Amino acid sequence: MTISAKIEVLYAKLKELNAETKFASLFQVDEVRDQVEKELKEQGEEGKYSQYLKHSNQQAKIIDIMLKHGLILKEQPTPKMPYVYVEFGAGRAGLSSYVALKLLELGNKENVFIAIDRDARKFKLDKDYKDHMLSYRERMDIADFDLRKFIGCKEVEIKSDHKIIAIAKHLCGGATDLALTSMKLQDPSHSLGVTIATCCHHCCDAKTYVNLPYLLEHFTSEEITVLPRFSSWAVSPQVSAPKQRLGFKTKRILDFGRCKYIEEVLKMDVTPYQYCDAFKESPESTLLVATVRQ
Ligand SMILES: C[S@@+](CC[C@H](N)C(=O)[O-])C[C@H]1O[C@@H](n2cnc3c(N)ncnc32)[C@H](O)[C@@H]1O
């Protein structure tokens, strides 16, 4: 069987098995693409939002979901316990700034923000909150960033009873896996949750992907080395609609493996969302939200 055929078969099987579960939203590629193709035909490019609205809307939707899962608290818990928001692949720290501004609006001020990105950025949004909350920015690769050591070195500023929440918006390929691995390396008593919008699955690789055993149940090692490349079809305007759909199905298969890892290894309850409008806002519309089991 070709890899494309294997992707189709596995996707169809996962869709059927998860039809009645919280993972069902991961397996609605055909339904979403039908809608996107219909909107494109009716509205064309004009129906799309401006860049600014696209991003602000996505961030606002992530904030609502975090509130729902208790990853943003309406007030400081008693006894005081700072939440440490670690934004992986932060770029300008747009998501951190939204989380921080929401916390400030709610009057919950004793939180900590850490933004990590390997690239330098202009027009950083850390300025929106750094005068109000403890914040750090580290310019380095996530692979080289030891979060546990970093927090350990800041023990005077960051109280010992803190809780860590990994956040990210559109964290490219293997960087999402590096962030999840970083959560695995934390003292479990300090881990609280994860909110990651995944993206660029074509950059995933066998070296960093967190759930190789799951992929190996369905693909050979040789197939796994090329599997992520199929996902690049999802966002390529040059390919046919059926190939685009196969690209999205590959993304969902990779994200489902991550969900299983979060449940089995991080011991968190995970819920995947299609958090934004795949036509107007972003085709990279999957958000993985997880919280530790009580
Ligand atoms: C698609 S951008 C998203 C930026 C920002 N989160 C946003 O929503 O605008 C992905 C970001 O992740 C960063 N990144 C990707 N892989 C990384 C890695 N291994 N270590 C650190 N940063 C990484 C890139 O430099 C880039 O800024």
Return the ligand 1 atom nearest residue 117 CA.
Answer: 22
CA distances for 112 relative to 89, 136, 188, 283, angstroms = 17, 8, 18, 31
**Which token pair is 30?**
């055909």
**Which token pair is 66?**
């975090």
Instruction: Tell me which residue of 72, 289, 262, 69 sits closest to 183, measured CA to CA.
Output: 262
**Which token pair is 185?**
């390396």
What proportions of the chain, in percent to the nearest 5, are helix, strand and coil?
50, 15, 35
What is the reported pLDDT for 96?
97
What is the reported pLDDT for 79?
75
Which residue out of 61, 137, 170 has the highest number of ligand 1 atoms within 8 Å of its CB and is therefore the one to mutate? 170
Q: How confident is the model at residue 43 (pLDDT cuts 50, 70, 90)?
A: confident
For tokens 């580290």, what's the residue?
138
**Residue 50 DSSP label:** P
Whether the per-residue pLDDT at 254 is higher than 80: the answer is yes
Q: How confident is the model at residue 144 (pLDDT cuts 50, 70, 90)?
A: very high
Q: Which residues contact 11 (CB under 8 A, 6 or more apart)?
A: 27, 29, 249, 252, 253
Mean pLDDT, rounded, of the chain: 93
Q: What does the pLDDT average to over 236-261?
A: 96
For residue 167, the domain's CATH number is 3.40.50.150
Q: Ligand 1 centre from 125 Cα, in Å?
A: 15
Consecutive H or E run containing 196: strand 191-199
Whether the per-residue pLDDT at 155 is higher than 90: the answer is no
**Which token pair is 236?**
């390529």
Classify residue 81 as exposed, middle or buried by CB count within 10 Å of its CB (0-12, 13-18, 19+).
Answer: middle
What is the reported pLDDT for 65?
98
Q: Ligand 1 centre from 280 Cα, in Å?
A: 22
Whether the per-residue pLDDT at 22 is higher than 90: the answer is yes
- Nearest protein CA to atom 14 of ligand 1, as residue: 89
Which residue out of 119, 140, 199, 286 has the highest number of ligand 1 atoms within 8 Å of its CB and is therefore the one to mutate? 119
What is the reported pLDDT for 45?
74
DSSP-assigned letters across all residues of 239-291: S-HHHHHHHHHHHHHHHHHHHHHHHHTS-EEEEEEE-S-TTTT-S--EEEEEE
Whether the per-residue pLDDT at 98 is higher than 80: the answer is yes
Q: Structural domain of residue 240, as residue ranges? A: 3-292
Q: What does the pLDDT average to over 183-203?
A: 96
Number of domains the chain contains = 1
